[in-house]
Structure 1
Amino acid sequence: MYNDPPYFLLVAGLLISLVSGAAFEAVLKQSVQEWQQHRSTRSLATLQGTQLFVPFLGISLGICLFLSSGVEIFGFPTKLAYAISVPLTLFIGWLVWRQLGKILIQLEQGGSKALDLDSWD
């Protein structure tokens, strides 16, 4: 028997991702500013701790919920929708987290000029 499409879960996943993204941005900006002001011996790569990972996990869970609900709206069964969205979200989340670590290391080594994309010709 076909259930109603999960429009509520689609919106909830989007809102979870947006709220977690705002928290992620705030924590990342605060951590980088503290590091920049103090230039402590603590490296920027260590900023990828629990304070930053929890909002990132919220973003990932919201995206997974949004993606699986979107797939369900197109008529796919719930199990198949989650079988598609969970591995996809885990893989993309891992790639983004890894890239964030590389960017933090690059920022630490070369300062903000290392990330200036406008100066590339």
Structure 2
Amino acid sequence: MYYFPEPPLGLLFFGFFIGVTCGLAFESTLKQQVNIWMKRGQKNRTSDMSAMSRLTLPFFGVCLGICIFLAAGLEIFTYNRVISYLISGALTLLIGGLIWNQLQKLIIQLLEGGSKALDLDAFY
């Protein structure tokens, strides 16, 4: 008798739930930190990059949720759990690393020159 594996719909929803809840925690933590920076004014902003350590746990949770969600989605089509987790893990590490790097650069740029450092009017 041939066994057809059940699709991992529970993991799909579980990964989505983890990603959304950690994303909300990431948003809340980032807003709190920006409010702290705004209240302090210009003094010691550039040396306050230790606040990025507060964002690492929620960001890691978002990445974990995305990895589980992607792996479950791939497993529906490939029926192979190992290949699904290898592909989704590699994609999550690559994209998460790029986003984290860009977020650090953006926060440093905002701390050094404020929102004028972004020069958003150059695009219009």
Q: Normalising to structure 2: TM-score of the pair?
A: 0.88
2:49 aligned residue: 45
1:106 to 105, 109, 124: 109
Q: One-letter code of the match for 1:30?
A: Q
Q: SS of the counterpart of 2:123?
A: coil
State how far apart, in whole Å, the 1-side matches of 2:94 and 2:5 are. 29
Structure number with larger C-alpha Rg? 2
State how far apart, in whole Å, the 2-side matches of 1:55 and 1:93 are. 12
Q: Normalising to structure 1: TM-score of the pair?
A: 0.90
Cα offset, 1:116, TM superposition: 5.8
Cα offset, 1:42, TM superposition: 4.2
Mapped pair 1:28 → 2:30? yes
Over aligned residues, Cα RMSD in angstroms?
A: 1.6
Cα offset, 1:45, TM superposition: 3.2
Aligned residues: 120
Cα offset, 1:119, TM superposition: 5.6
In structure 2, the gaps of 5 or more residues are: none
In structure 1, the gaps of 5 or more residues are: none
Cα offset, 1:115, TM superposition: 3.5
1:78 aligned residue: 81
1:57 aligned residue: 60
Report Cα offsets for 1:75-94 as digits up to 9, x if no partner.
33000001101111011111
Q: One-letter code of the match for 1:74?
A: F
* Alpha carbons 2:70, 2:88 under 8 Å: kept: yes
* Alpha carbons 2:45, 2:112 under 8 Å: kept: no
